[in-house]
Structure 1
Amino acid sequence: MRVAAAAAHFGRDLTFDIGRIGVIIAHAREAGVSVLALPDGALGGYVHDLRAPDPADHRVLPPELDPGGPEVRAVVELAREMVVCLGFCEAGGADGERYNAAVCLTGDGVLGRHRKVHQPAGLAGVFASGDGFTAFDTPAGRIGMLIDHDKTFPEAARSLALDGARTIACLSAWPTSLTNRAPRMAQDRQARLFDLYDQSRAAENQVLLLSANQSGRHGSLHFLGRAKVVGPGGEVLARTWSKGGLAVADVDPDAMIDAARAVLHHLKERRPDLYRA
């Protein structure tokens, strides 16, 4: 099976975003990709600033979309046989809240959904938090999703692995450091952490991980790109750098995961009776 994670820039123009998604899916299809992870904010972009965006100022916030609405349906039509994961800002319905959300879909419709649980301090007043981590079945096996800050917390990816996820799609709009930006992106503290979390979450759970990220600039944020595919031993199988592109890898998830767990099986070796709640 061939899988891919994308680094690409998306903004407020939904027509442009859907067109760009179509181009990326077409390139992935030409490359024989079966599973594609797109960044957070692939429909409508991300916030302009992480420090203190005004939730009442809709100019600096992404458009709030219905997961069953025309924008997601347009991606369903583009996906066809491919499994595609992507992020957007979800309208909360009657409660009036908004969520940093993701869907996984094929041409048959939405297979799974996730709302980001862990909110950075500056966004706690902008997005409501999701209430859990659930894996779901797809034509490409059991998958779970994380969004941005979720992957900072080992418990998030572990919850998906315990729920049977063999592949985890991490969808991000992850920028360079806001407080101590390095002269070169490769030396930036957030670039190091972004890669470290990707490899750690894959290795500690012995799963395949697809890490997609925004690239380019949006408001005060400069996104890292650095999309990658990581194997169950924490090895980077394919990657992009700061500019847009596709990280593409040929994988056999079941064989790779079974081999990684043949001697040391981290999920079975846990001692939850000794862990503090």
Structure 2
Amino acid sequence: MGLKIGAVAAGFTRDLEFDLSRVEALIRHGRREEVQLLVLPDAVLGGYLNDLSNPTYDDLPPALTLDDPLISKVIAMAGEMVVCFGFCEADGPDRFNTALCVTGDGVLGRHRKVHQPPGERTIYAAGNEFTGFDTPVGRIGMMIDYDKTFPEAARALAVDGADVIACLCAWPTSITNRAARMNEDRQSRLFDLYDRSRAAENQVVLVSSNLTGSIGGLRFLGQSKVVGPGGDIVARTWSKAGIAIAEVDVRAELETARRVLHHLGERRPEVY
């Protein structure tokens, strides 16, 4: 039996009540479609930064602790569904770009973004690990946007047993050389390339979600998708808001992909 996966493309703002209502609507949509794993983008509660070139602490989204009532509301909304979503996490004086994976029973896994582009690293603290975790729909790992630029991130999750990797993104068009057409933008090509490469090199299912619309001077790509273990895109949203939904027999797909060439088993870490 296949796993029904949804990769969300949507926009979010500094208005937390608006964001919460949009999350609720997306979860309701996913439930109608019998989605079992719903991956929302990065920064769904409070939106992303307005400016990556010179961000300040005043530019940060509202910071939430794990026991914040808004987090509890998303957990309650999830119910039987496994839901991944991103937000700005407060931990004492530090602020993290964080992804949570939850069901109605509580938190299943947390990932704090490890790799940070220049603008982020001045105001966000960095995470320090990539670990898989067990869920009702299988073993999952999470990354947050720029993490997927680094092959070691997805590889660490796959080695830790993750069959599905959720990559939650706030990925904009090029800041320095934006193309007139979004599908011709350099970052658009890289976004798809990284998604397909990380899935194929690790022979896993990759679920890539992303913001849409604009915040400050940033324009987000969308292009949410579900990618099979051969690097094939099985569902996508392109640049518009929506949910890319695919039913994937994860175990069967992984076994087929690894039948002859088993990338994880054929590694030679002693020579790297």
Same fold (TM over 0.5): yes
Q: What is the RMSD of the two structures over their aligned residues, measured on CA atoms?
A: 0.6
User: Which secondary structure state, in structure 2, belongs to the residue aligned with residue 145 of structure 1?
Assistant: strand
User: Which secondary structure state, in structure 2, belongs to the residue aligned with residue 264 of structure 1?
Assistant: coil
CA contact (8 A) 1:67 1:103 kept: no
Aligned length: 270
User: Which secondary structure state, in structure 1, belongs to the residue aligned with residue 86 of structure 2?
Assistant: strand
Q: Distance in 2 between matches of 1:235 and 1:101?
A: 28
Q: Distance in 2 between matches of 1:166 and 1:126?
A: 32
2:33 to 21, 31, 56: 31
2:182 to 182, 185, 198: 185
1:109 to 106, 129, 139: 106
Give CA-to-partner distance per residue, 1:178-223, whole Å, 9 cap, x none: 0111110000000000000000000000000100000000000000
Q: Distance in 2 between matches of 1:28 and 1:122?
A: 34
2:144 to 144, 147, 151: 147
Runs of 4+ in 1 over 4 A off after TM superposition: none
Give CA-to-partner distance per residue, 1:135-187, whole Å, 9 cap, x none: 00000000000001000000000000000000000000000000111110000
Whether 1:267 aligns to 2:264 is yes
User: Which secondary structure state, in structure 1, belongs to the residue aligned with residue 213 of structure 2?
Assistant: strand
Q: Which position in structure 2 is the counterpart of 1:71?
A: 70
**How do residues 28-177 of structure 1 correspond to structure 2 at under 5 angstroms?**
28-55=30-57, 57=58, 60-93=59-92, 96-177=93-174
Q: Shift in Å at residue 68 of structure 1? A: 2.1
User: Which secondary structure state, in structure 1, belongs to the residue aligned with residue 161 of structure 2?
Assistant: coil
1:222 to 219, 222, 228: 219
Q: Distance in 1 between matches of 2:260 and 2:46?
A: 45
Task: Using structure 1 for the length normalisation, give the TM-score.
Answer: 0.97
Counterpart amino acid of residue 192 in structure 1: R
Task: Using structure 2 for the length normalisation, give the TM-score.
Answer: 0.98
Q: Percent identity?
A: 61
Give structure 1 stretches of 5+ with no counterpart. Answer: none
Q: Distance in 2 between matches of 1:110 and 1:17?
A: 20
Q: Distance in 1 between matches of 2:67 and 2:150?
A: 29
Q: Distance in 2 between matches of 1:53 and 1:20?
A: 26
